Amino acid sequence: MINPVQLSLTQSDGSSRKIIIEPVLKSSEENSLKNTGVYKIYKDAFGDESTLFTEPLEINESNTDLADEDNPDYLGKITIIDSIDWRYEGDLLNTEEQAQVIKYISVC
């Protein structure tokens, strides 16, 4: 998965939690983007008339104004270790929600 995606998780009470899954990428030797197995998770609001940015930036400037830990929409990150194991760094997604994220990523 190269581009961020929107996903609706089912919480334990049956309600929805809308999220954005953003893959952490690195440049390969061929100057293409390569998946690192790390995915940042953010809160989202479906139906808010916004779209995800999937096109390359038109500028080369770094934007480090707000660290993830200071971002109120940041829910943590998931690192895929192998086909059945992952590590979640955060405290807002329960184990079932994490499993839903992993299931989605594994089919992409």
Q: What is the pLDDT along the chain (108 residues), one digit of tens a residue?
A: 889 999 999 999 999 999 999 999 998 888 788 889 999 999 997 655 555 555 665 556 666 678 888 889 999 999 999 878 999 999 999 999 999 999 999 987
Q: What are the sequence ranges of the domains in the chain?
A: 5-107
Choose among 47, 49, 63, 44: nearest CA to 6: 44
For the chain, helix (H) and strand (E) counts, in that order, are 1, 5
pTM for the full predicted model: 0.80
Q: Is 4 helix (H, G, I), strand (E, B) or coil?
A: coil
Per the CB < 8 A criterion, the answer to whether 22 and 39 are in contact is: yes
Instruction: Give, as one character, the DSSP assignment of residue 73.
Output: T
Q: Which DSSP symbol is given to 104? A: H
User: Cα dihedral sign for 37, 42, 46, 50?
Assistant: negative
